[in-house]
Structure 1
Amino acid sequence: MVPLKYKILFIVPLLFVSCKPKQVITEKISSSSDSSAVLMLEEVITQKEIQIISLQSELNRFEEENLNLKSEISTYEINYDTTQPINPVTQKPPISSEIITKSNSQLEKTLNQYEVLLREASIENTHLTTKNINLQLIVEAMKEENKTLKSKSNPGTQLKSKLFLTGIISGIMICVISIMIIRK
C-alpha cells in the first residue's frame, strides 16, 4: 500500500496543472460569429441594391409617361359666317363651323401625381443609397476586425500553455524534492 504522503504529493501537482478549457472555446465561437455577421450584412446590402435598381426602373417608366402625356395638344377653332347679319343677343355673326378639342387638364393632374411619386421615389432611393453605403462601411470595418483577430496570436492560449508547462515543471520539482526529503 502507498503511504499517504505519496498520495498527497501526486494529487497536489494535479490540482495545479488543471486548466479552464472553456475560455478557448468561447474565443473561437466569438470569432466565428463575427464572420456570420459580415455575411448577414452583405445579404442586406444586396437586397438594398436590388431595391435601388427596381426603383430606378420605375422612375424611368414614370418619366417616359410624363413626356408622352405632356406632348398632347388641344385646339379650339370657330369659323363665323360673315355673310349673315350679326346676332343681337350674342353680338356675333352666326357660326359656320366649329372645331373643339378637349382639354387635358385631368391628365395634367395625374401627371402631377406621378411627379409626386417620382419625387418620393427619388428621396427613398437616396435614403436607400445612404443606408447601403453605411452598411458597406460596417461590413468593411468588420472584415478588417476579423483580419486583425485572425492575424493576432491568441495571448490567452499562449499564457495557458506557459502556465501548463510551469505547472508540470513545478509538480515534477515538488515530487523530486519531496522524494529527496523522504529518503533522508
Structure 2
Amino acid sequence: MFEKWESKTYPGVNAMTIHTHAFQWWNAAGFAVLETGPGQFRGLAASKWGLEREVNVSVKDMNGTTVVELRMKANVTTEGVLAGGIALVLLWPVAVVGGAYSYAKYESDALERMSSYWYSLGAVAQMAPVNHRVEIIHTTAAPTEEIGGIQAGHPGPTAILQAPPLDGEEKLILLDDRLARGDISEETYREIRDRM
C-alpha cells in the first residue's frame, strides 16, 4: 500500500509547542491519537474505502532546532479484503476498478491531510521550514508468515482461500439478484448475460 514519510526542520521553534499542536491537530482530524514515546505519537483513523489510515509523528528538539517527522500509511482492512475478494470472484473488472478507486481516493485524501497539517505547523512556528525531506514507499508485500504457510501447503490465518468457480446457472442467479436489487441496469444485465 501507499506510505509517505516527510521531515521538516524549524530552527528556534519550541518543540513542545509544535508537539502539542500536532497532537491536537491529528486528534481533531478524526484520528485516535496515542502517545508512543517522548515527543512521539501514533494516530489511527476509522476505515475508509477498505483502508485503515495510520499516522506516526515525531517531534524532536535537536539543540534548539525542532525536527518534525510525519509518516502516513494505510493498511487494508478485513472488510476491504472481503469486498475485494467477492468482487474478484463475481466481476473481475469491478474488483480492479474498485481497488484502483479506493487507492486513488486514499492517496488523494492522505496528500491533502498532510499538506493541511504542514500548513498549520507553519502557522504555529511562524516560519517556513529550512529543510524538507520526502520519501514515498509503496509497500505491497504479503506478510511473511502467510507466504511461508502457503509454501508449506497450508494457508496462513488471514489467507483468502479461492472458492471453486461458479457454473453458468450460479452466475445467472447472482446476475438476476443484482438486477433485482437495482445494482445494475437492464442494459448492463443483458450485456453480461449475452457474454455468458
Query: Fold conserved (TM > 0.5)?
Result: no
Give 1 or 2 for the bigger CA radius of gyration.
Answer: 1
Query: Per chain length, whose mean CA-contact separation is higher, i.e. which structure has more relative contact order (CA < 8 Å, sep 6+)?
Result: 1
Structure number having the greater strand percentage: 2
| TM tier relative to shorter chain | under 0.3
Structure number having the greater helix percentage: 1
Q: Scaled by the length of structure 1, what TM-score is found?
A: 0.26
